[in-house]
A and B are shown apart, each in its own frame.
Chain A
Amino acid sequence: MVKEIERYGIPIVHMATITTISESVGANRIVPTVAIPHPVGDPSLSPEDEYALRKELVGKALKALTTEVTGTTHFE
């Protein structure tokens, strides 16, 4: 899905925990996430800390969308 959407010339960032899968399907912009059942959350944190963590992760994704890349790039 990532690749087909990018084919339209729209930058796309893949937020995923198993980043080896994102690489093998050919995602160009990748943000590694927390865990498979909660990629952008962490139930072990307090609601405030979890929100801050999610904000940081989505911030990385936005940074990825504004960064020129030439191939598979991780934004950590």
Chain B
Amino acid sequence: MSEKFKVLYYVNQFFGQVGGEDKAGMPPEYRPEKVGPALGFDGALQGEGEVVGTIICGDNYFNENKEESLEFIKKTIKEVEPDVVVAGPAFNAGRYGMACGELAKAVAEEFKIPVVTGMYIENPGVEICKDKAIVVSTADSAAGMRKALPVMAAIARKLAKGIELDAPEKEGYIPQGRRKTLFVDKRGSLRAIDMLLARFKGEEFETELPMPVFDQVEPAPAIKDLSKATIAVCTSGGIVPQGNPDGIQSASAQKWGKYDVSELVELKAPDFYSTHGGYDTAYANENPNRVVPLDILKEYEKEGVIGKVYEFFFTTTGTGTSVSNAKKFGREIGKFLKEAGVDGVILTST
């Protein structure tokens, strides 16, 4: 290819330098220039390709208006005719990751254009697109930008030129779950024996077929008689009492809190507010019931629809929180609820 290949870039409102959470509702717009990480990415292409334009879209807008957002992106692709589409990297940002993932999936499916994005392995966006697009494995925060861009650029370059990618661990992307035929020196039986011996000796070995991890939880049985049931409410939306007495982190939470609401009929502002650092908390701070609907649950309790609202509500911050911490919180909260004899739980997420 003598001409430079063309890259269309996608970023959110933050990396697009439009603004923070207050701009998360912005609809997508196209700019025929390199914005934010697109600039660094363009540099990493070392003149072989060029970012011809950047689509900027608010994270909330994309996730709340997926169809419209994807339509805009598809329309832009038809006009710009890129050779590669690049999105992110989104690191461990959930909404941004979902946007990159949905975009990557849609573009890879509909156009025959390779898509490259970058995410932290725990980002929920990974699952959406890793088999359709190339997802470079990144750090969990934007501190990993400088490392991620050259890896993404190298992969984009290969894809644009039709060069086959090497194995995921060599190239730095998340495995797509594909099996490929390849030539090796030793036949299977010998490799199996080698592996077995290594294992006996306690040496390192690498399986050739990692087992997929399935972790589905059986749905718990339904509540038989709601009018006698105790219902607890829980949130990942960061609602805390004024002053945040337990110091729950505004992002990457290390802990959860439980607060007595037995004497309350609703969560009043400013007695409660959101400490969450991953969404615009103006609406929640105006009326915390918009995130934790205690007012309605108390109303249903008064009407006799439910037996009782559990005396505590449970809260943490969902943004950037590791899956392992979220599991730990869930286990701890669940144990507490089980011992308290709670019959059902409503968990709200922002």
Residues of A within 8 A of B (CB): 1-18, 20-22, 24-26, 28-29, 33, 35-41, 43, 51, 54-55, 57-59, 61-62, 65-71
Identify which of A11, A26, A54, A59 contacts B222 (C-beta below 8 A). Answer: A11
Complex interface bits, B46-80 against A, C-beta within 8 A gives 1, otherwise 0? 00000000000001100110000000000000000
Q: Are B279 and A37 in contact, CB atoms less than 8 angstroms apart?
A: yes
Between A13, A41, A69, the greatest number of chain B beta carbons within 10 A of the residue's beta carbon is seen for A41
Confirm or deny: B295 has a beta carbon within 8 angstroms of a beta carbon on chain A.
yes
* B104 sits at the interface (CB 8 A): no
Question: Chain B contact residues (Cβ within 8 angstroms of A): what range?
Answer: 35 or more
- Contact status A24-B128, CB under 8 Å: yes
Residues of B within 8 A of A (CB): 21, 24, 59-60, 63-64, 94-95, 98, 102, 124, 127-128, 215-224, 226, 229, 231, 234, 236-237, 279-284, 286-287, 289-291, 293, 295-297, 299-300, 305-306, 316, 326-327, 329-331, 333-335, 337-338, 342-350
- The reply to whether B217 and A18 form a contact with Cβ atoms under 8 Å apart is no
Q: Is the CB of B219 within 8 A of A8?
A: no
A62 touches B306 (CB 8 A): yes
* Alpha-carbon distance between A33 and B219 when the two chains are bound, in angstroms: 21
Q: Supply 8 further A-B pairs (C-beta < 8 A) apart from A6-B217, A24-B128, A25-B124.
A: A1-B236, A4-B327, A4-B334, A10-B334, A11-B219, A21-B349, A55-B299, A61-B346
Q: Which of A33, A35, A54 contacts B295 (CB 8 A)?
A: A54
Chain B positions within 8 Å of A26 at CB level: 215-217
Contact B350–A6 (Cβ < 8 Å): no
CB-based contact A37/B345 at 8 Å: no
Q: How far is the CA of A47 from the CA of B27 in the complex (A)?
A: 27
Give the shortest distance, in Å, between B281 (CB) and chain A (any CB): 7
Q: Identify 19 residue pairs between A and B in the complex whose beta-carbon atoms are under 8 Å apart, listed by A's number.
A: A1-B329, A3-B327, A4-B327, A4-B329, A5-B334, A5-B345, A12-B344, A12-B346, A13-B346, A18-B349, A24-B128, A28-B220, A29-B219, A41-B289, A54-B296, A58-B293, A58-B296, A62-B344, A65-B229
**Across the A-B interface, the 7 shortest Cβ-Cβ residue pairs:** A4-B330, A41-B290, A1-B330, A28-B219, A5-B334, A65-B344, A38-B290
Residues of A within 8 A of B95 (CB): 18, 36
Determine which of B224, B286, B296, B347 lies in contact with A55 in the assembled complex, contact meaning CB atoms within 8 Å. B296
Contact B287 A41 (CB under 8 A): yes
Structural contact, A11 and B220, CB atoms closer than 8 A: yes
Bound together, the chains give a CA A1 to CA B60 distance in angstroms of: 22
The listed residue (A37, A66, A68) touching B283 by CB distance below 8 A is A37
Residues of B within 8 A of A6 (CB): 217-220, 334
Point out the residue from B226, B297, B338 that lies within 8 Å of A58, measured CB to CB.
B297
- If the complex has contacts A10-B342, A29-B219, A39-B348, are A21 and B291 also in contact, measured as CB distance less than 8 A? no
Q: Which residues of B contact A41 (CB under 8 A)?
A: 283, 287, 289-291
> A43 and B342: CB pair below 8 A?
no
Cβ B347 vs Cβ A2 within 8 A: yes
Closest to A67 in B: B222
Residue from A10, A16, A24 whose CB has the most chain B CB atoms within 10 Å: A10
Q: A18 to nearest B CB, angstroms?
A: 5
Q: Tell me how far the C-beta of A16 lies from the nearest C-beta in chain B, rounded to whole angstroms.
A: 4
